[in-house]
Amino acid sequence: MLLDRQTLEVVALAAAGVAVLSFGLAVALLVRFTRLSRAHRDLTGGDNDATFVEAVTRQHRESQALRTEVGRLRDDLSAARADLSDALRHVAVVRYDAFGDMGGRLSFSAAMLDDAGDGLVLTSINGRSETRTYAKGVKAGESDHSLSPEELQAIGYATRNAVQPREVLEPTPQRRGRFSRR
């Protein structure tokens, strides 16, 4: 019994429709499988023999190690900040003429303080025939010893309680060497 031509056309069209639908489904599944495969490769780090559970366990272990390392680094940073606050990092120098007959501002007071205002002030007084140097301890910007106005000024500059002016250098006379033309 032969099927008529019209029935064969309908069956052929239905088969072609099913084939196109199957092809579209196969492409969609291929795209989905490729994405899943890429995600699995990313999760396992390229180890195709690892299972999902093994990959998640390894990732968890690595994230715990990173958390431990970050905690250790935070502790180290806190210790470094504490050490830095104790460092003598606020420094100011005040130069002056200690004696009226001396020029060139050869005397100075230098304050070296930490963040709490603790440290010391060094003063060097230069005269014609001698130089004297003094060191005085400073606690919270104050000293047990009497401080000169220049030492107080240096402490003020170091603690940023006063603004230090830009130092204007006096022009030095040109000296002529023995080979220079006169």
**Domain boundaries of the chain, sorted by first residue:** 7-83, 90-158
pLDDT in tens, 8-44: 889 999 999 999 999 999 999 999 999 988 888 887 7
CA–CA dist 137, 111 (Å, integer): 10
Q: To the nearest whole percent, how much of the chain has pLDDT over 90?
A: 49
Question: What is the bridge-based pairing of β-strands 107-113 and 90-96?
Answer: antiparallel
Q: Report whether pLDDT(156) > 80.
A: yes
Spell out the alpha helix ranges (H) of 49-147: 52-85
Q: Kindly tell me the burial class for residue 40, based on how many C-beta atoms sit within 10 Å of its own C-beta (0-12, 13-18, 19 or more).
A: middle
State the pTM of this model.
0.53
pLDDT in tens, 101-154: 666 788 999 999 998 889 999 999 988 888 899 999 999 988 999 999 999 999
